[in-house]
Amino acid sequence: MIALAGVHKSYGSYEVLKGIDAEVARGEVVVICGPSGSGKSTLIRTVNRLEEIGSGSITCDGNNIHQPMPAKELNRLRSRIGFVFQSFNLFPHLSAIDNIAMSPIRVKDIQRDVAYAKATKLLERVGLAEKANAYPAQLSGGQQQRVAIARALAMEPPVMLFDEPTSALDPEMVGEVLSVMKGLAADGMTMMCVTHEMGFARDVADRVWFIDQGQIVESAPPEEFFSRPQTARAQRFLSELR
C-alpha cells in the first residue's frame, strides 16, 4: 500500500532522512518510534507530501506522491491519505459535525444530506454521537482528537497516518483515542502511527520501525522488537522508556 524507496531529505545542509527503504502492506499497522529529533515526523509527513523529499520515491495506493503534478491532483491524492496531528487542528468556528461533513461536501461534491448522515455515523463510531453540535472549545482534548479522526475518516481514505496523536492529551484521555485507533486497526485500516505508547504498539502493531538519526535501524514485529532489540540504540531507547 505504501512504499518508500531511497528517500533522502535535508533541511539546508542537515540530512534528516538518510535513505529510507520500507513498505507497508494493505491492512498493516506500523508503529514508528525513536528518539526525539530522529526524523519520525518528517518521515510520516513526506508520505502525504506535507514535506518535499530530496531524492527517492514514495508510492501510496498506486500513486507516485512526489512526481510533478498540478495542485488539484495533489489535493486529490492528499484527500486519500488521512492525517491526524498531535494538535487537533479542528476548525474552531465549526461544530463537530460540520468539521466532519465539510470536506466531503467541498472536495468530493457529496450531497449535504448524505455527508451529514455519514458524519453522524462517524461520530457514533468515535463515541461522540451526543456531541454533534458542540464546538471544539466545548470539547475535551480527547474528544477533539476523536472528532479529528472522524473528520479524516470522512474522506474514506485507504490509509491513515498519525503523528503522536495522544502526546498533547492529559493522561486520562489517552485511552479513549487509542481505543478508536484500535478499532480502526481491527477494521483493517492501513496505518502508520508515530507514537510513544508502547502498550499500543505491543497490542496493535504488526510491525515496529525504530528510527534513529534519519534511518530505520530496526523493523520487527512488536514481540520481537520489545523482547530482543537488535541494536544498542534501540536497547537504550527502550530502557529509558521504562
Q: Is residue 166 near ligand ADP by the rule CB under 6 A?
A: no
227 binds, among Mg ion, ligand ADP, none (CB under 5 to 8 A by kind): none
Q: How far is the CB of 51 from ligand ADP (least distance, A)?
A: 8
Q: Which is nearer to ligand ADP, 34 or 157 (CB)?
A: 34
Q: How far is the CB of 175 from Mg ion (least distance, A)?
A: 22
Q: Is residue 48 near ligand ADP by the rule CB under 6 A?
A: no
Candidates 39-47, 97-105, 141-149, 231-239; binding stretch for ligand ADP (CB under 6 A): 39-47
Candidates 21-29, 31-39, 64-72, 137-145; binding stretch for ligand ADP (CB under 6 A): 31-39
- 3-state SS, residue 5: strand
Q: How far apart are CA 84 and CA 104, in angstroms?
A: 17
Q: Which residues pair with 88 in a beta bridge?
A: none
Q: Which is nearer to ligand ADP, 22 or 123 (CB)?
A: 22
- 3-state SS, residue 118: helix
Q: Is residue 38 near Mg ion by the rule CB under 5 A?
A: no
Tell me which H or E stretch contains 4: strand 2-11
Q: Which is nearer to Mg ion, 41 or 99 (CB)?
A: 41
Report yes or no: 159 and 135 within 8 Å, Cβ to Cβ: no
Strand ranges across the sheet with 2-11: 14-24, 2-11, 55-60, 63-64
Report yes or no: 192 and 30 within 8 Å, Cβ to Cβ: yes
38 binds, among Mg ion, ligand ADP, none (CB under 5 to 8 A by kind): ligand ADP
Candidates 35-43, 146-154, 170-178, 215-223; binding stretch for Mg ion (CB under 5 A): 35-43
Q: Which is nearer to Mg ion, 132 or 192 (CB)?
A: 192
- Near ligand ADP by CB under 6 A: residue from 22, 41, 81, 118: 41
DSSP notation for 68-98? ---HHHHHHHHTTEEEE-SS----TTS-HHH
Q: How far apart are CA 98 and CA 105, in angstroms?
A: 10
Q: Is residue 41 near Mg ion by the rule CB under 5 A?
A: yes
